[in-house]
A and B are shown apart, each in its own frame.
Chain A
Amino acid sequence: MELFTPDFGLVFWMFVAFILLFLVLAKWGWPVIIKMMDKRASTIDEGVENARQAKEQLDNARAEADRYMKEVMAKQQEMLRDAQKMKTEIIEQARNEAAKVAQGEMDAAKVSIEQARKQAESQIRDEVSRFSIEIAEKMMRSQLKDTKAQTELVNKMLDDIEKN
């Protein structure tokens, strides 16, 4: 039952081996590993923190951009509205102007038409009077070929004058 009664040789070598192992690892092994793992852990933590901040910044930037966008959009809307208004105004103005000009021209046209009409009227009157005189002359000439008729006419005319 040597398993239950520790053998001196094995205890001795175990002690030596374990102490040696401990010294070697305590000097060159574990501190390096633990330091490295700590360092990596803190680097990762930092990285996560950085990423979080970056994300925050990105989110902020996005919000800012959104805000600018909205502002710009509002401005654009306003500008569009202004332009619309201006357009209608200009059109209105132009229409008025055009109407005024058209009125003036119409008036001028009316005047000239009136003048032309009057001219034409007087011309026609002259012509008509000339024609009527000519016609009267011709009629007179044809009717007053005999003396009786001439006397009758003179009488009638004289009657008219007398009546008046």
Chain B
Amino acid sequence: MLKRIYILLLAVLTVVMVPGCSKDDSQKVSSELQKEEQNEEKMDVKELIFEHLGDGYGWEVPFSHTTRMPLPVIVRAEDHSWFCFSSADLTESIEVKDPATGKEHKQMVPVVKTCERDGKQYRFVLARISTHKDKVVEVFDLSPEDQKKVDAELAKHKEGDVVDEGMPVIDGYVYVPDADAAAAHKVAGQYYKEYRPLDLSITKDVMALFISVLVVIAMVLGLVGFYRRHPDMKAPRKGMGFIELLVSFIYYDNIKPTLGENSRKFAPYLLTVFFFILTMNLLGLIVVFPGGANLTGNIAVTLVLAVCTFVLTNVLGTKHYWKEILWPDVPIWLKCPLPIMQFIEIFGIFTKPAALAVRLFANMMGGHMIVITLTLLIFIFASFGAAVAGSAAVVSILFSVFMLALDVLVSFIQAYVFTLLSTLFIAMAQEKGEHGEAGKEEESLLHKEAEKIDSVKI
């Protein structure tokens, strides 16, 4: 049965891909030069990858380059007044006529959003040619000095090196192309002075974050609800059973043996971390709406989680833990005249959570990047003709499916590793001195376990 599905899939892929490309091919024969030029213009792989991995003010909709689900933009202007408007106001979809082929296609261009408050005008724009690329900036008209500065910069860049879409990026200023001119395929626009406002927008990533939070709450409170409905201690089945399985896996197999009597105290944090990371990881693998945001592959998200572990570890650390850091049990010359061990230990306090954040971030981002690159291979190979593109499509889709399956595994492993290491760090900081030798043994055991896990990973 499964085999038949595979064969069917392969057949469909080849049929779909090959004619599509052959149409391009015939076009290519007619205007080969122009086509190649277009290809070069279209394929900026690095740009594409980071656009997919990065954040955005709207949420992409499948099969459309010009429509986005609008999300609220919340910014604080330079004079500390807050503004909230829809992200749809920042862009406009225009018809662009290609002068060479005469074909029309839709394109998104940024427009200046003007807000009025107390008789004062505030203007915001989605920066494209600026140091704050793809961020909302507040813009001001150029004063004569600014104009002079911009002119000087432009002169310097006449044979330009840092050129983006034809105009140079000037620090502190933003170039806004004119939407009407862009529609006519002409280059026109102007520089504005820019100010990057404090930006608390509900971006795609923030929205995905909220969705993940809701999903986790629904899962956990759903399980609690199941218990409420079945006071006879019936064990849940299927979906609920799986959640319970994960809880028992984390709590009984990891938290309890490591933290012992403290497990009740720290279990809520560790379980929340595990389920939150797992949900974010898995939602990130879904391509369309509720997923598609590369959350755990964004350092901001993993950083917050690591900081939480850091705070919990050190704020609730015992006297023994601090003694081990500030006056460790090593030969005296290692710590007395020159605080070598103290330096290493204090350095270790910070590197441990940093490693947590970077490990999760790098693993998840790497997985997403590989899948996107494999998908982009199809478009890179498209310029080599129908047969190559068709077979490349089949191969890269097979590889993408494999990578996505692997990413499901990695999602789970990374959530587990983050939780496990957090548990170990917290457990080390919960050591009490009074069990003396036994305590030390336990600690070395924990160290060993941590090292083992590190060696298993990567």
Contact = CB atoms under 8 A, between A and B. Distances in A.
Interface of A: 1-15, 17-18, 20-22, 24-26, 28-34, 36-37, 39-40, 43
B268 A30 contact: yes
Top 8 A-B pairs, shortest CB-CB distance: A26-B268, A6-B300, A29-B220, A10-B300, A13-B206, A14-B304, A30-B268, A9-B199
Contacts of B252: 37
21 contacts: A3-B54, A3-B294, A8-B198, A8-B199, A9-B199, A10-B55, A13-B200, A13-B206, A14-B209, A18-B213, A18-B272, A21-B216, A21-B272, A22-B269, A30-B267, A30-B268, A31-B268, A32-B224, A33-B227, A34-B247, A37-B247
Nearest to A41: B252
Interface string B237-271: 00000001001100110000000000010011101
Interface residues of B, number: 48
Nearest to B206: A13
Given A3-B297, A10-B300, A18-B276, A43 B203 contact: no
A124 B202 CA distance: 159
Contact of B206 (A6, A10, A25, A29): A10
B233 A43 contact: yes
B397 interface: no
Contacts of A33: 220, 223-224, 227, 244, 247
Interface string B185-206: 0000000000000111111011
Given A4-B299, A36-B233, A20 B213 contact: yes
Contact of A26 (B272, B299, B301, B308): B272
A34 B220 CA distance: 11
A21 B279 CA distance: 13
Q: Pick the most buried of B210, B220, B305: most chain A CB atoms within 10 A of its CB.
A: B220
B365 interface: yes
B354 to A, nearest CB: 13
B137 to A, nearest CB: 14
Contacts, number: 117
A31 B224 CA distance: 10
Nearest to A13: B206
**Which of the listed residues A1, A9, A20, A28 has the most CB atoms from chain B within 10 Å of its own CB?**
A9
A39 B234 CA distance: 11
Given A4-B299, A8-B198, A11-B304, A28 B216 contact: no
B303 interface: yes
A1 to B, nearest CB: 7
Interface string B145-168: 000000000000000000000000
A18 B227 contact: no
A3 B300 CA distance: 8
A105 B276 CA distance: 117
Nearest to A19: B308
Given A5-B299, A6-B298, A6-B299, 10 more contacts: A2-B55, A7-B199, A14-B304, A17-B209, A18-B272, A18-B276, A29-B220, A32-B224, A37-B247, A37-B251
A14 B205 CA distance: 9
B350 interface: no
A21 to B, nearest CB: 5
Contacts of B272: 18, 21-22, 25-26, 30
Given A14-B300, A17-B209, A33-B244, A25 B308 contact: no
Contacts of A7: 55, 199, 300
Contacts of A36: 227, 233
B16 interface: no
B53 interface: yes
Nearest to A21: B213
Contacts of B54: 2-3
Nearest to A20: B213
B84 interface: no
A3 B298 contact: yes
A111 B168 CA distance: 166
A22 B312 CA distance: 13
B303 A28 contact: no
B221 interface: yes
